[in-house]
Amino acid sequence: MFARGKGRKYHHIGEYRGYWYYNVFSILEKIISHQKLSIETISLRSIINLDFENNGKTKN
């Protein structure tokens, strides 16, 4: 796709670099999305736990 005749090595380096950047950004995106999900789940769990604790305290 990127390799064209004489400038094959150069295009190959550019292709490799683009592939590397794409991998890094995809990994960062996965990490960020995972962190967002984990933060949301942690906040939901803490809210649920607080609700349960409050309910338990008020009931008792």
Residue 35 to residues 3, 28, 30, 45, Cα–Cα distance (Å): 38, 10, 8, 15
The total of structural domains in the chain comes to: 1
The 10s digit of each residue's pLDDT in 20-54 is 777 888 888 888 787 777 777 777 777 777 766 66
Q: From CA 18, how far away is CA 8, in angstroms rounded?
A: 15
| Terminal alpha carbon distance of the chain | 70
What is the model's pLDDT at position 29?
83
Looking at per-residue pLDDT, the higher value among 56 and 7 belongs to 56
Query: Is it the case that residue 3 has pLDDT exceeding 70?
Result: no
What is the model's pLDDT at position 24?
82
Confidence (pTM): 0.36
